[in-house]
Amino acid sequence: MWPLPDVLLHAMHFHMWLDALFKFQITGTYIVRLILEGLLIGVIYALMALGLTLIFSVLNIVSFAHGEFYMIGGYVVYAILHHYKGFPGLLAIVVAALVTFVIGAVFERLFLQPMAKGQVERPSEYAILITFGLSFFLQFVMLGIMGPFPKKAPRFWSFPKIDLGFIRTTKTTLFLGNIPLSGGRIFAAIIALLALAAVLWFMYRTWTGWALQAVSQDRNAAAVVGINPLNMNTLAFGMGAMLAGLAGAVLVTVFSWVPWVGVPASAKSFVIIVLGGMGSIPGSLVGGLILGVVESLGTGLFPDPARAQAYRDVFGLVIFALVLWLKPTGLFGRKL
């Protein structure tokens, strides 16, 4: 039998989707579930994008190695929990944050500081090449150390037994009514929320946070009031790397980890900062949530469920293209 042309296949899938919708297989509950799942993952996207925003706004460069810090954060937690049974999981996440901070700060001092000091002839091109270089370097180093096969860290938490009628738990799942939510994602989102709150507090309530903001707004004006922009660069890159590392550290118990796991994560961060507005902290938070929800709804409502996951990243890229086309400054960005 001749295969059906693609266009007919798509029409059939769309028909099946409409059919499902009208038979109430796609219910309100299902939509709510998709939105909640999207928000949970969106918080982690926001955490990662906040790191990229911090780097962009203070150093004025886009780090193409951002996803690799996410990857390293996950591997650090995996390695610790795999090799040291009984090691506290939360402590492993803290170690991952510290490791990624140190790698980021050392890299900035060694390779980006010459650019900030004006010792590099073509800084923009240099920044692109050096962060791409770091990205490949970290991927291949981790490929050498961890191998190409997927790893997943063991779960180190479980829900206490709760039964309040509407809210119920099993060890790994939370039920809101009849909506099941993955405990892994909830746990990751809670850690991410705490980290976001800590970073926002740091940025808006401490001197170092003001100094970072001052440098991001006007380097020379900050320097003439005594703030050392070079130190702020190191801190911002270290913190940015740490936030990506944290995002990876909390997700390694949810997803399988491979050395190139950071590539799509990095792409999502770029989508978010474009959506939210380059350099905008509120933009990266809102952008992360929007991307999470759009991806979740897009995948969950895709006419062909068998292909839905494969198209997950496409939704983000569609947003990326639309924002660049319709509102290049993003939601909270300033005029270009």
Region from 1-9, 27-35, 182-190, 225-233 binding other proteins, contact rule CB under 8 A? 225-233
Q: Is 201 among the residues that bind other proteins (CB under 8 A)?
A: no
Q: Is 9 among the residues that bind other proteins (CB under 8 A)?
A: no
> Least separation, in Å, of the C-beta of 31 and other proteins?
37
237 φψ region: left (φ > 0), alpha (ψ -120 to 50), beta (else): alpha
Q: Is 60 among the residues that bind other proteins (CB under 8 A)?
A: no
Query: What does the alpha-carbon distance between residue 168 and residue 92 come to, in Å, rounded to a whole number?
Result: 28
The one among 31, 62, 230, 308 contacting other proteins by CB under 8 A: 230
Q: Is 220 among the residues that bind other proteins (CB under 8 A)?
A: yes
Q: Is 211 among the residues that bind other proteins (CB under 8 A)?
A: yes
**Size, binding site for other proteins by CB under 8 A:** 18
The one among 1, 7, 164, 225 contacting other proteins by CB under 8 A: 225
291 φψ region: left (φ > 0), alpha (ψ -120 to 50), beta (else): alpha
The one among 127, 186, 227, 247 contacting other proteins by CB under 8 A: 227
The one among 24, 149, 207, 325 contacting other proteins by CB under 8 A: 207
Query: What does the alpha-carbon distance between residue 230 and residue 108 come to, in Å, rounded to a whole number?
Result: 10
Token pair, residue 233, equals 């660069």
Minimum CB distance to other proteins smaller for 172 or for 231: 231
Token pair, residue 219, equals 């380097």
Q: Is 336 among the residues that bind other proteins (CB under 8 A)?
A: no
Tokens 């086309």 sit at which residue?
325
* 59 contacts 237 by C-beta, under 8 angstroms: yes
Q: Is 214 among the residues that bind other proteins (CB under 8 A)?
A: yes
> Least separation, in Å, of the C-beta of 170 and other proteins?
46
| Selection from 288, 295, 327 nearest residue 53 by Cα | 288
Minimum CB distance to other proteins smaller for 221 or for 310: 221
- Residue 7: count other Cβ atoms within 10 Å of its Cβ: 8
Burial class (CB in 10 A: 0-12, 13-18, 19+), 326: exposed
| Selection from 173, 180, 188 nearest residue 292 by Cα | 188
Region from 9-17, 209-217, 287-295, 323-331 binding other proteins, contact rule CB under 8 A? 209-217
> Least separation, in Å, of the C-beta of 46 and other proteins?
19
Minimum CB distance to other proteins smaller for 178 or for 220: 220
Q: Is 32 among the residues that bind other proteins (CB under 8 A)?
A: no
Q: Is 121 among the residues that bind other proteins (CB under 8 A)?
A: no
177 φψ region: left (φ > 0), alpha (ψ -120 to 50), beta (else): left
Query: What does the alpha-carbon distance between residue 9 and residue 304 come to, in Å, rounded to a whole number?
Result: 10
> Least separation, in Å, of the C-beta of 241 and other proteins?
24
Token pair, residue 137, equals 């370097």
- Point out which residues bind other proteins (CB under 8 A): 207, 210-211, 213-214, 217-218, 220-230
